[in-house]
Amino acid sequence: MRHGDVRRSTKETSIEVRVNLDGTGVYDVKTGIGFLDHMLEQLSRHSLIDLYVRAEGDLHIDFHHTTEDSGIAIGEAVTKALGDRKGITRYGAAIIPMDETLTRVALDASNRPYLIWKVAFSRDKLGEMDTELFKEWFQAFAQAAGLTLHIENLYGENNHHIVESCFKALARALRQAVTVDPRAAAAVPSTKGVLGGSL
């Protein structure tokens, strides 16, 4: 089993994360932000990555620090669990429909972080959460997990559906990318022999 445990503590947040890349999608998530919890549960269930998150943050100010730092901590835990990334499929992609919404995600677990975010919202908030914070979460996660991550909402009207389809598409693409390829389980999936660094 490929596990990653992270404790992150700052003046703004205190976060504990545990992941198991070879899990069954079991989750136990409490960030203090209901909508974020719902999205992280979707990420776990559809990626089959077991996910434990406990976050305490300065929610009396706003949700920014807790959202961003949870993305960092989960990404760091995924990086730890991947180790040298030997044997992984490396690439993943998914197109996820949710009622009137369709979202596409493609990623490369290359250890070269990059985010392309082509998602727009028609509302400033979902529940109490600012919709602009979702990009912050994906940026933090991609950076810490070492993912080249492209997210594009092709169309959609319901903002809840748009966000949820982004998380579900990430989950399905990540599930592909971190799966060990039995035909190349001992090899790093790169002609360089290592993932990360320059192209």
Number of domains making up the chain? 1
Domain that holds residue 113: 3-184
Residue 199 has pLDDT above 60, yes or no: no
What pLDDT does residue 76 have? 98
Whether 72 has a pLDDT exceeding 90, the answer reads yes
Query: Is position 119 within any domain?
Result: yes
Q: Which two tokens stand for residue 140?
A: 């933090």
Does residue 190 lie within any of the structural domains? no
Instruction: Check: CB of residue 32 under 8 Å from CB of residue 64.
Output: no
Residue among 96, 73, 192, 84 at smallest CA distance from 151: 96
Whether the Cβ atoms of residue 131 and residue 107 lie closer than 8 Å to each other: no
What pLDDT score was predicted for residue 153? 98
Instruction: Say if 128 falls within a structural domain.
Output: yes
Checking if the pLDDT of 103 tops 90, the result is yes
Has residue 195 got a pLDDT over 90?
Answer: no
Q: Is residue 130 part of a domain?
A: yes
In a domain? residue 59: yes
In a domain, 19, yes or no: yes
- Average pLDDT score over residue span 107-117: 96
CA distance 118 to 97: 16
What span, in angstroms and rounded, lies between the C-alpha atoms of 74 and 52? 9
pLDDT at 61 over 60: yes
User: What's the mean pLDDT when you consider all of the chain?
Assistant: 94
3-state secondary structure (DSSP) of residue 116: strand
CATH code for position 165: 3.30.230.40
Q: Other C-beta atoms within 10 Å of 37: how many?
A: 17
| Cα-only R_g, the chain | 16
Q: What is the pLDDT of residues 24-46, one digit of tens each?
A: 999 999 999 999 999 999 999 99
Amino acid at 157: E
Establish if 174 belongs to a structural domain.
Answer: yes
Q: Is the pLDDT assigned to residue 191 strictly greater than 90?
A: no
Q: In this predicted structure, what is the pLDDT of residue 198?
A: 45
Report pLDDT for 192.
67
What are the backbone angles phi and psi of residue 124, rounded to the nearest 5°?
-80, -25
149 pLDDT more than 60 = yes
